[in-house]
Amino acid sequence: MYSNPKTMKELCAYAIHTRRQRASEHRRLALIDGECSGLTDKEYKRVVVGQKSNFSKAKKFTHNRYWKETSKRFEVNELKLIKKTL
């Protein structure tokens, strides 16, 4: 069989051949390992799935909007006044 078909007939024959080959391989594996089945309770409980998180939003907030107010320039008198109120 051609691995690189050049005409349409060769392509159709190649497709049929590869499809049959894949099916026979699948049947062979099913005979050895058995049919596919779902997970058992023990296997299902062992699977760890991550939940939804907000980490990227918090990072964006702390790196951008959180520091907007601190970028203002203060005069020395204003800083002394702020220190007295704290």
> What's the token pair of residue 31?
């005979």
CA dihedral over 50, 56, 58, 63, signed as positive or negative: positive
Task: Give me the pLDDT at residue 2, please.
Answer: 63
Q: Which of 13, 36, 17, 16 has its CA nearest to residue 26?
A: 36
> pTM score > 0.75 for this model?
no
Q: Write out pLDDT tens, residues 25-75.
A: 999 988 887 777 788 899 889 988 887 766 666 566 666 666 566 666 777
Q: Cβ atoms within 10 A of the Cβ of 80, count?
A: 10
